[in-house]
Structure 1
């Protein structure tokens, strides 16, 4: 699921056309074999007056449903998460509180819809009921939305790969091994990061945690299980789609993160954010751009430092994480793990202690 962007051309990219035809053929065959749509639900977010609902319609054998999927998937080898066939252009009924609407899944089966609420929602988590309408037998799923009130003043946006979990994304071959071959449950947490996040939560009990990654939505169940297993605060995942787009073979990771941060800033103008990432890819520049586009909205930036060798393999010069535009507009700390970052964030007012 990618954040919508204007499409400059009326003609879809060849890769998208090929993918659509392959999925159509696979969908026809699986439907003949008795497969039917099922709902993969995610956690959205919103305000008392509007919500963003996230889900996906996939094809699956009969009986392949239920809340135990996340636990089962945690033990799979990585490539199995990508063996999915979407159910595009399916009508889906969405109900949250007193608000009900019918929407249509996109070409990859995703439901990503913003709905105004009929009656204001209270702060906290709300259930969202989704129903596939184009099937003879009821197919339902229950997603959630996290509603932030006007009294929410602090929040956290965290990268995933090499920030919360050790995946060695800067090393392409090892990253591929970690993603597609290793069992998902074998991933290790970055030392001290869960403790850091729990410390932030103690200082700001109302603070939401968003996990922003260029990883695919196919891995959402595994990522949720990983976060829960290692004691990270729960929160919405902001992931992207797997495969080509209408404009090219690959999606832009930095563009996805830029757009996601801009959405959060626009939905929650009253929140000041702690942005946490690593220097193995583009997080320092992405967070710097976000702070410059939205002055006064970023409380601090925390960057986990990878080794010099990892940065070279990633195409970065060691120690070159500072913005090319000059001094960062917000306090920025670095450290090799969560313990070092916590020690340095303790010196930044209003982060590890609630603002007085």
Structure 2
């Protein structure tokens, strides 16, 4: 899922071989879930592949990089209204089309009051990201139909979305898990929005340490969003298990007067923010809350007028 404004659209994808279709059911056994998750990390990216992008009557060409990715900033001649639109990606060999898939992109319009940028693991999806064994067991034995969200997340996010407010999901999960996340969000009725994930990985070791790394890419993607949508303010939601508070603190300084509130779900034994961080948010007039459960965030959002009953 891509995203953009009336003048510029960002699209991204990957070209892979040996990539099976993934269909999960709530009744699937652990062995099947294990095989499917394993196969997500054993597909091979295809570099230097030309990809044709079709937007309505317009066509654009891009090429995959060494890791099989392509990304493109599109300046369409036609005007797209706010909302979701289709885009076609295709691969041709000697003028014969050998592959075609449909994608989507979201145009953010002027009626949006604010946007929401949310982490996924241990913010929406119960993941135990800081406990390696628990995390690996969940990933390998459950699927999108049987993994659980935190209580109240879907209802809270739907209130934040309202009629026009966009959602973006910035996560350290890899692109390998894209279909899993799409399925999970649909099953749990969580508002639809573009996923901004960590680069594709390949191999068993990468599967074991999925979601790891420096998380710097989150800061880069938040900067891209806030630069592309300069008139939109944001709510930021994350958890205390990784570096979300620090990443959001950087955004606070880089984009002053653009952040309405920050909600951090408490994971582990962390009881509060350090004094320096608390003071910085206070000086900027941005509420920073460490929440035990979703209801606390809902209560605050109602109090300050971000959501309505």
- TM-score normalised to the size of structure 2? 0.86
Question: What is the match of residue 67 of structure 2?
Answer: 108
Whether 1:256 aligns to 2:223 is: no
**Across the two proteins, how many residue pairs are aligned to each other?**
291
Whether 1:53 aligns to 2:11 is: yes
Determine which of 222, 233, 239 is the counterpart of 2:191. Answer: 233
| CA distance 1:286–1:337, change in 2 (3 Å) | same
Q: Is the 8 A contact 1:301 1:332 kept in 2?
A: yes
Q: Is the 8 A contact 1:128 1:145 kept in 2?
A: yes
Whether 1:98 aligns to 2:57 is: yes
Q: Secondary structure at the match of 2:121?
A: coil
Aligned counterparts, 1:1-356, within 5 A: 43-60=1-18, 69=21, 71-72=23-24, 76-77=33-34, 78-134=37-93, 136-201=96-161, 204-243=162-201, 252-308=213-269, 318-320=271-273, 324=277, 326-328=279-281, 329=284, 330-349=286-305, 351-353=306-308
Q: Is the 8 A contact 2:90 2:97 kept in 1?
A: no
CA shift for structure 1 position 46: 0.7
Aligned equivalents of 1:48, 1:322: Cα separation in 2: 42
CA shift for structure 1 position 126: 1.2
- TM-score normalised to the size of structure 1? 0.75
Q: Is the 8 A contact 2:171 2:196 kept in 1?
A: yes
CA shift for structure 1 position 325: 7.6
Q: Is the 8 A contact 1:152 1:270 kept in 2?
A: no
| CA distance 1:214–1:122, change in 2 (3 Å) | same
Q: Is the 8 A contact 1:94 1:130 kept in 2?
A: yes
Aligned equivalents of 1:60, 1:81: Cα separation in 2: 10
Question: What is the match of residue 36 of structure 1?
Answer: none
Aligned equivalents of 1:342, 1:352: Cα separation in 2: 8
Aligned equivalents of 2:163, 2:78: Cα separation in 1: 26
Gaps in structure 1 of 5+ consecutive residues: 1-42, 312-317
Residue by residue over 1:258-302, the C-alpha shift from the partner in whole angstroms, topping out at 9 and shown as x without a partner, is 001000100101111111111111111111111111001111111
